[in-house]
Structure 1
Amino acid sequence: MKLTIVQWNMTHMLTQSEGYDVISRAVLMLVTLLLFFLFIFFVGTLLSIFFTTPYIQENARYILFAHILINDTLYLTLGILCLFSILSNVYFPTPLCFLILAVIAASFRVTPYNLAVMSLERYIAICFPLRHLEFCTAKRAKSAIAVIWIVGFSPSIADFVTIACSVERSFFSIAVICGHSMLIISPLQNVIRSFAHFLSFSLVALIILFTYVKVMLVARRLGSRQSSALKAARTVLLHVFQLILCMVSFISTVLETTIPGYNSDLRIVGFLIFTYLPRFLSPLIYGIRDEVFRKYIGKFYHTVFSPFHRLIYEIKHGVFHKCIRKQ
C-alpha cells in the first residue's frame, strides 16, 4: 500500500512538472513571437523609408543596408520556423528541410559579407572620393549582393553533394525533424561548415580592419574632429560591432552540443539572447545612428502616432472639463 502511494505521488509530481513545462514553453514561445513582431515593425519602418525615398534608393550604402534588413528578417523567420517545429515535433520532407537549412546557413554568412562590402564602400568614399560615384553605384551594389549570395550558398552546395554521395536515394523520401544535427551524415560536413565559417569571418574581419586603419589615417591627416573621414571610421567601427554580434550566434550552437539536458526552455532562451537580440540590435543601432534614417524615422513615427496622441489628449482634456463642470 505504501508502495502504491509513493508511485501515485511520483506520477502526480511528474504530471505537474510536465504541466509546468508546457506552460513555460507556451509563454516563452508567445514572448518570442511578440519580440519577432516588434522586430518586423521596426524593420518594416526602415524598409518603408527606403522604398519611398528616391534619394535613398539610389545610394549604394543604403541599398546594402536594406539588404541586411531583408536578410536578417529572412534569417529570423526561418529560424523561428525551425525552432517551433523542433519544439512541436513537426516533421518535414528531407529535401524541404535541407532547403530551409541551406537558406538559413547562407543568410547567416551573407550578413558579414554585406558588412565587409559596406566597409569597402566607406573606404572608397574617403580614400578615393573622386571615384566614389563611379565605383559605388546602385547597379554595382546590386551586383555585389548577387555575388554575396552565390558565395554564401557555396558551402551549402558542397554540403548537399556530400550528403548525396553518402546516402541512398531513399534518404530523400523520408521526413525528419528539421534541425542541423538531423542532416549530419558525414564528418566531412562539419569540416566544410567549420572551414567556411572560419574563412568567412577571418576574411571579413581583415577587410573591416584594413578599411578602418586606412580611413583613420585619412582622418588624422585631415585633423578635424567633424571630418567625414572620422565619421566614416566610426561607421566602420560600428561594422566591427555588428560582426561581433553576428558571431554571438555561435554561442547558441556550442551550448546545444556541450550542455547535457538542453531542454526546450533553454533552447528558446538561447535563441532569444544569442540569435534574436544581435539581429535586432544591429539594424536598430545603425538605423538610429544614421542621420538620414533618423530624420525620416522621426517623421514617420510622428505621422503614425500623432493621431493617437491627439485622441488621448482630447479624451483627457474632455474628461478634465467634465470633472470641472460636475464640481
Structure 2
Amino acid sequence: MQQNDDRLIIVQTLVIVFLCINILLIVTFFSKDSFYTTMRYILFAVTLLSDSIILIMSDILLILAYFRFAIQSGFCVIIYIISALCTFITPITLTAMTLERYVAICMPLRHGELCTIRRSLNSILIIHCISFVPCIVVLSISFASATPSFYTQVKVCSVESFIFHRWQGHLRSAIGQFYFLFMCVIIVFSYVKIMHVAKAASGEKKKSSLKGLKTVMLHAFQLVLCLIQLWSPFIEAYVLEINLSLFINVRYFNYITFILVPRCLSPLIYGFRDELFFHALKYNLLCGIYKKPSDVF
C-alpha cells in the first residue's frame, strides 16, 4: 500500500510539473504576434492544449481508480470522449507539423502561400474531425452492444467499461494502428525528402535543413511512444492473467512511459529547440529581466 501511495505522489508531481510547463508555453505563445500568426506555432499550441487536457483527464481517471470511486456511466462516457479525442489530436497534429517542415524546407517559395492563418485554422478543424472518427466508431458499437441498464450503472470509470466483447478491443486497436501507420508513412516521406534537400544544400540552408531533419526524427519518436500506448491494454490484460502484482507494476510503467513522457516531448521539441520561442519563453520566465533580443519583443 505504501508503494502505491508513493507512486501516486510521483505521478501527481510529474503531472503538475508538466502542466506548469505547458501553461507557461501557452502564455508565451500568446505573448507575441508572430507566434499566433505562424502555422507551426499555432499547431504547437494545439498540441500543448491537447497534451494538457489528456494529462488532466488521465490523472482524474487514475485518482478515481486508486480510491475506487465509482461514477455513473454517463459521466464516464463524457470523460472517455474527451480523452479519446485528445489521444489522437496530438499525433495527428505532430504529423501536420512535420508536413509544415517539409513544405518550409523542400518548397520554400510556396510556404507562405500554403501555410497561412486561414489554412492553419482549416487544418485544426480537419485534425479534430479525423481524431473524432475512432471515438465515434467505438462508442457506436458499444452503445449498440450495451443493455439499457448500462447507462444507469455506477462503476469505476475506465476504457474497458465500453468493451463488451474481445473483438471490440481488437477493432479499437486496429483503427488506432491504421491511423499511426498512415502517419508514419507521412513522416518517413517527409524525412526522406528533407534529408535529400539537406545533402544537396550548403551554408545556412543546410543548417536549417538538418535542424528540420532532427525535428522530424523527434516527432517520429514521439509518434512511436503514442503507438505503443495503444498496445498497452493488451499487454496489461495478458500480464493480469499471470500475476496481479506484476500487472500493477506494468500498468504504472506504461502510464509513465507512454502517456506522461510523450506529453512532455512537445515542449522539448518546440518550446526549447526553437530559438525565437525559447528567447520569448526565457523572457516570460524571468519576468522581463532577460532581454536578449531586440527581435523578441
> TM-score normalized by structure 1?
0.80
**Residue 164 (structure 1) shift:** 2.0
- Following superposition, the deviation at residue 225 of structure 1 comes to 6.7
Question: Using a 3 Å threshold, how does the CA distance of structure 1 residues 270 and 190 change in structure 2: closer, same or farther?
Answer: closer
Structure 1 segment 239-250 matched on structure 2, within 5 A: 239-250=219-230
**1:140 Cα deviation after fit:** 1.4
Q: Give yes or no for the alignment of 1:258 onto 2:238.
A: yes
Q: Are 1:57 and 2:40 an aligned pair?
A: no
Superimposed CA distance per residue, residues 20-56 of structure 1 (whole angstroms, 9 cap, x where no aligned partner): x1x3322322222122111111111111110111111
Distance 1:98 1:208 in 2: 33
Shift of 1:108: 1.3
Equivalent residues in 2 for 1:212-291, closer than 5 Å: 212-224=191-203, 227=206, 228-250=208-230, 252-259=232-239, 260-262=243-245, 267-291=251-275
- Per-residue deviation at 1:62? 0.4
Aligned-partner residue type, residue 59 of structure 1:
T
Cα distance in 2 between the residues matched to 1:270 and 1:163: 25
- Structure 1 residue ranges (4+ consecutive) displaced by more than 6 angstroms after TM superposition: none
Shift of 1:298: 2.1
Match of 2:22 among 43, 47, 57: 43
Task: Read off the aligned partner of 1:123 and give its amino acid letter.
Answer: Y
Structure 2 unaligned regions, length at least 5: 291-297
The residue type paired with residue 236 of structure 2 is E
**244 and 191 in structure 1: CA distance in 2 versus 1, 3 angstrom threshold:** closer
Out of 66, 70, 85, the position equivalent to 2:64 is 85
CA RMSD of aligned residues (A): 2.1
CA contact (8 A) 2:194 2:213 kept: yes
- Describe the superposition over 1:135-174 as per-residue Cα deviations: whole angstroms up to 9, x where unpaired: 1112211221121111111111111211222223232121
Q: Is the 8 A contact 1:248 1:275 kept in 2?
A: no
Structure 1: give runs of 5+ residues left out of the alignment: 1-20, 307-327
Q: SS in structure 2 opposite 1:89? A: coil
2:166 is equivalent to residue 187 of structure 1? yes
Question: For the residues of structure 2 that align with 1:248 and 1:287, how far apart are their CA atoms?
Answer: 24
Correspondence for 2:281: 297
Q: Percent identity?
A: 31
Check conservation: 1:248, 1:278, Cα contact below 8 A: no
Count of residue pairs the alignment pairs up: 285
